[in-house]
A and B are shown apart, each in its own frame.
Chain A
Amino acid sequence: MEWTSYLAPLSQGAWVTVQLTVYSTILGGLLSFLFGLGKLSHNPLVKGFSVAYIEVFRGTSLLVQLFWIYFALPLVGQAIGIDLRFPPVVAGVVALALNIGAYGAEVVRGAVQAVPKEQYEAATALNFTSRKRLWRITLPQAIPEMMPTFGNLAVQNLKDTALVSLISLGDMAFRAEQIRNFTQDSVTVYTLVLLMYFGMALVLTAFMKLLERYVGRWRAAGR
């Protein structure tokens, strides 16, 4: 078979991969801020929960988390009488987001802590409320610091989406495996898929660079 005939099924899979990456990266980004700021909270309950979340999801393997959510969670649901059977897409997005969110939370925490202390003191002296201090002073300075690492995490997430093919989700890796089973033409199929992932990663990296420039635009104006 011609290699061009692989392109149609692979691009169907590519679309699933793109969707998975976008959803889980956005959700993971939200989780990063939620738990990254949670870890810095003075409330021991919030802090404890955030630390536990970060440690558990950074300390175990993504594939273990994915299988746990897909295979084990329904059994937990059965025991307590709630239906926790998720379709593969939901399980995949949730697992990816929880995983990347835990790594992101540490980045958020680090960047927030790196904001000079005088900035907090000045904001307090100017009678800012703590919410305003967070939104107007801390985050605008912390977010540009996070961006390079977030860019790496987004690419990491794109690569990790390949694992959801193992819970029978029809992403690019899954399609590749199907085609290989059918044609036995492994060299062409996998070369093609590797190149497609590489292309996607380059686009994603470029997008994250643009985003980095966007969130850091006040810096160029100020200096």
Chain B
Amino acid sequence: MFFGIEWDTSSQWAFAVSIFPILLHGLVVTLEATVVGFFIALILGLVLAALKSAPTRIVRWPAKLLTEFIRDTPLLIQLFFLFYVLPEFGITLPAFLTGALALGVQYSAYTSEVYRAGLEAVAKGQREAARALNLAPGRTFTHIILPQAIPRIIPALGNYLVSIMKDVPVLSVVTVLEMLGVARIIGDRTGGYLIPLSMVGALYLVMTIIASFGVRYLDTHLPKRGLSLK
């Protein structure tokens, strides 16, 4: 029994059917962690991107080094680090939030590069034209650069959203009951790993196929010439 739902081990089909709602409980947690982690990654990435394009080297270089460091070290270790080290500084977060924070930190390194690449991909002539037309730098950014960068940025971010979803099972090591963790517990208690683990794999496949359709839709349907922010 798990989440108050009994499993039926009379036959393999009955077992698969009976654990499906239990796995869905885990699936909800997986999706929640994905969304919260992604949201943190979006914001932290923006901060990193801003620091990396700061006018002084004293800010720019450490930010670049930090991005490189975050990107080159495993999520699992970052997660353990946050999980065991934060409480020593008096910050005690629930396991779920620690996990989402770890996902957000890891992927902020990637999202910051997405922002940077998206902004740099806007043709130089656009900036020059805006300057020639005497537009203020702030207006140039919000009215000229950003509208053209967004259609490039959004699909790339979508791909990282899918990657985050695939990394959520790592959070099970700090007792977050996401889908894989739930499947393992079912396996531990019944001795039958094959069905729950295969079902998790199949559910992941379904989710990533849906998500990749979504990303492709965004990629083809966002206006290529720019998204008006007005």
Q: List residues of A whose CB falls within 8 A of some B CB.
A: 55-56, 58-65, 67-68, 71-72, 75-76, 155, 159-163, 165-166, 173, 176-177, 180, 186-187, 190-191, 193-194, 197-198, 201-202, 205
Contacts and interface: CB of A to CB of B under 8 A. Distances in A.
Nearest to A202: B72
B180 interface: yes
A101 B173 CA distance: 25
A55 B169 CA distance: 19
26 contacts: A55-B205, A60-B166, A61-B180, A63-B169, A64-B197, A64-B201, A64-B204, A71-B193, A75-B193, A75-B194, A155-B71, A159-B73, A163-B170, A166-B173, A173-B76, A180-B84, A186-B85, A187-B88, A190-B81, A190-B85, A191-B81, A194-B77, A194-B78, A197-B72, A197-B73, A202-B72
A205 B72 CA distance: 10
Contact of A165 (B72, B76, B187, B197): B76
Nearest to A76: B194
Interface in B113-139: none
B72 A198 contact: yes
Contacts of A68: 197-198, 201
B167 A61 contact: yes
B88 A186 contact: yes
Interface residues of B, number: 36
Nearest to A65: B201
Nearest to B192: A75
B94 interface: no
A69 to B, nearest CB: 10
B208 to A, nearest CB: 4
A205 to B, nearest CB: 8
B1 interface: no
Contacts of A163: 74, 76, 170
Nearest to A71: B193
Contacts of A176: 77, 80
Contacts of A173: 74, 76-77, 80
Contacts of B193: 67, 71-72, 75
B109 to A, nearest CB: 12
Nearest to A205: B72
Contacts of B194: 72, 75-76
B46 interface: no
B142 to A, nearest CB: 32
A52 B36 CA distance: 31
A194 B81 CA distance: 9
A61 B204 contact: yes
B200 interface: yes
Contacts of B44: none
A99 to B, nearest CB: 10
B159 to A, nearest CB: 11
A63 B200 CA distance: 11
B229 to A, nearest CB: 32
Contacts of A67: 180, 184, 193, 197
A64 B200 contact: yes
B168 interface: yes
B201 A162 contact: no
Contact of A190 (B84, B165, B172, B173): B84
A61 B166 contact: yes
B164 to A, nearest CB: 11
Interface in B155-177: 165-170, 172-173
Interface in B171-223: 172-173, 180, 184, 187, 192-194, 197-198, 200-201, 204-205, 208-209
B77 A193 contact: yes
A186 B81 CA distance: 7
B2 interface: no
